[in-house]
Amino acid sequence: MRREKDLTEAVALVAADMAAHVGHGKVADYIPALARIDPRQFGLAVATCDGRWAAAGDAETPFSIQSISKVFTLTLALERMGEALWKRVGREPSGSSFNSIVQLEREHGVPRNPLINAGALVVTDCLIAGRAPGLLIEELTAFLRARAADPSVSIDEEVAGSEARTGFRNASLANFLRAFDNLQNPVADVLEVYFHQCALAMSCRQLARAGLFLANAGVDPLNGARVTTAMRARRINAIMMSCGHYDASGDFAFRVGLPGKSGVGGGILAIAPGRGAAAVWSPGLNPAGTSFVGMMALQRLSAVLQWSVF
């Protein structure tokens, strides 16, 4: 990728605008290993389909991508099992975090979409398909390394372990799904993979690079690798637009106007179809669990670059 002045200026402008806000929000405290992160960090990276890139702040610092991993496991699961996936998970927004488990009950164990925890557990179960958990964890890591074009992407085992010890809500969801026969592998295996995928550590630069195939109809624009079909890339973007930020998905569409996915580690990946991908990171979260400064930065970036799809 080559750096370019205009893009660099835009990114620098956004980063400068954020300086006054960095540190706002509340670091996720329910995963002990995340609760210790210094909230006064901010990174931003943009990669474009035509090979330009720009970055600002702590764009090289790896952070826990957490729920952003759901975009990548969804991509893989669609490649492996195709549209049959949609028998086991829906693609509607969940309304609110509050409703997720009651909707799961009402809807007989079929999660609303693959970007909420329940849906992502089903996606992970689809990927396991009899594999040893450790093997799948290696495959996921390899997939992200390939997408980021960077072999240094790896899992933060401390975070993975921390989640395994405290992830009672996810354990509850997984058992619930299993009670509805919507998990086929042992609950412990699904949770092991899930906690590891959430603990993947990536920098903004790596993450923006990794998202490019979604902006380019399923093909990595920099090395020509086909990751998924054009239709699936579009549809993954559609799901990110509708469901990427739990009960603040509508607000993200309203403010940013791009498909995106946030994680409680403070990262957000946003896709500008036909243009490029942006990754932002700042650990303080808003009440909906999305990076406070990260969302503000993407709103600004989308306006400056005129990237809104609307």
Determine the interface stretch with its own copies among 75-83, 94-102, 117-125, 198-206 (rule: CB under 8 A): 94-102
In terms of Cβ atoms closer than 10 Å to its own Cβ (0-12, 13-18, 19+), residue 310 is: exposed
Determine the interface stretch with its own copies among 53-61, 76-84, 143-151, 254-262 (rule: CB under 8 A): 254-262
Q: Helix 117-128 and helix 133-148: axis angle, to 10°? A: 110
| Residue 253 within binding range of its own copies, rule CB under 8 A | yes
> Active site residue: 11, 46, 70, 193, which one?
70
CB of 219 to its own copies, least distance (A): 15
| Residue 243 within binding range of its own copies, rule CB under 8 A | yes
Selected binder of its own copies within 111, 211, 259, 266 (CB under 8 A): 259
Nearest to 129 by CA among 64, 84, 69, 90: 84
Nearest to 73 by CA among 218, 207, 198, 169: 198
Task: Compute how many residues bind its own copies; rule: CB under 8 A.
Answer: 49
How many CA atoms, within 13 angstroms, populate the side-chain half-sphere of residue 27? Answer: 19
Determine the interface stretch with its own copies among 73-81, 97-105, 147-155, 194-202 (rule: CB under 8 A): 97-105
Cβ-proximal residues to 259 (8 Å cutoff; 6+ apart), any chain: 214, 236, 237, 238, 239, 240, 241, 244, 270, 271, 273, 309
Is there a catalytic annotation at residue 30? no
Is there a catalytic annotation at residue 5? no
- Each residue 202-241 as x (binds its own copies by CB under 8 A) or -, in order, gives -------------------------------xxx-xxx-x
Measured between alpha carbons, how far is residue 52 from residues 4, 222, 277, 289, 305 in Å? 6, 10, 11, 31, 13
| Residue 309 within binding range of its own copies, rule CB under 8 A | yes
| Number of Cβ atoms within 10 Å of the Cβ of 172 | 12
List phi, psi (to 5°) of 29.
-115, 0
| Residue 254 within binding range of its own copies, rule CB under 8 A | yes
Is there a catalytic annotation at residue 194? yes
Is there a catalytic annotation at residue 70? yes
| Residue 178 within binding range of its own copies, rule CB under 8 A | yes
Measured between alpha carbons, how far is residue 125 from residues 73, 132, 147, 174, 269 in Å? 10, 11, 22, 10, 24
Cβ closest to its own copies, residue 174 vs residue 219: 174
d(CA 34, CA 25): 14
Positions 66 through 85 that interact with its own copies (CB under 8 A): none
Is there a catalytic annotation at residue 67? yes
> Active site residue: 264, 282, 293, 302, which one?
264
| Residue 286 within binding range of its own copies, rule CB under 8 A | no
- Residues 264 and 34 sit within 8 Å (Cβ to Cβ): yes
Residues annotated as catalytic (active site), given as ranges: 67, 70, 194, 246, 264
- Interface with its own copies (CB under 8 A): 90-96, 98-99, 101-103, 105-106, 112-113, 168-169, 171-176, 178-179, 187, 233-235, 237-239, 241-243, 247-251, 253-254, 257, 259, 273, 308-310
